[in-house]
Amino acid sequence: MKYTTPIKIYLFKDKNKVDISIKVTDELVNGYRFKIDEFEKILNYWKTGVEFDFDGGYLYVEYKKHGPRPEKVPSPYVRFSISCHGLTFHHRLSYNDMLQLEKDYFFQKSNVMYWDQNV
């Protein structure tokens, strides 16, 4: 089955965890797990930039209005970089992808999802 959305999120309230999957290709996604407070820190500060260490990894997320130097062509994107166990993944997400991620998170936080049956 192909992945159809750029980002998927699952909020596990009973485990204090947020799982996100970021699409790389139609057949491959990278999955990440955060504590709820870590994920909310990302949502609160991604527009200005946020970085922190987590469970043996490092995360950096920031909204960029221009592409890299020297051209600096207007090309807005959200840099979502994660380092863990000697590997670093640099994802480029759209501004709208991040807004949708926020919307999906707060919907799941405010509603009972099918995986929340024990909550």
pLDDT per residue as tens digits for the range 29-66: 999 999 999 999 999 999 999 999 988 889 999 999 98
Beta bridge partners of 89: 82
User: Would you state the pLDDT for residue 118?
Assistant: 66
Q: Above 60 in pLDDT, residue 119?
A: no
- Nearest 5°: phi and psi at 63? -80, 130
- Residue located via tokens 């946020």: 50
Closest alpha carbon to 82 in 35, 117, 50: 50
41: helix, strand or coil: helix
Cis bond upstream, residue 6 (ω within 30):
no
Residue 102: HSE in the Cβ half-sphere, 13 Å Cα cutoff: 14
pTM across the whole model: 0.87
- What is the helix (H) or strand (E) element at residue 58, kind and residue range? strand 57-66
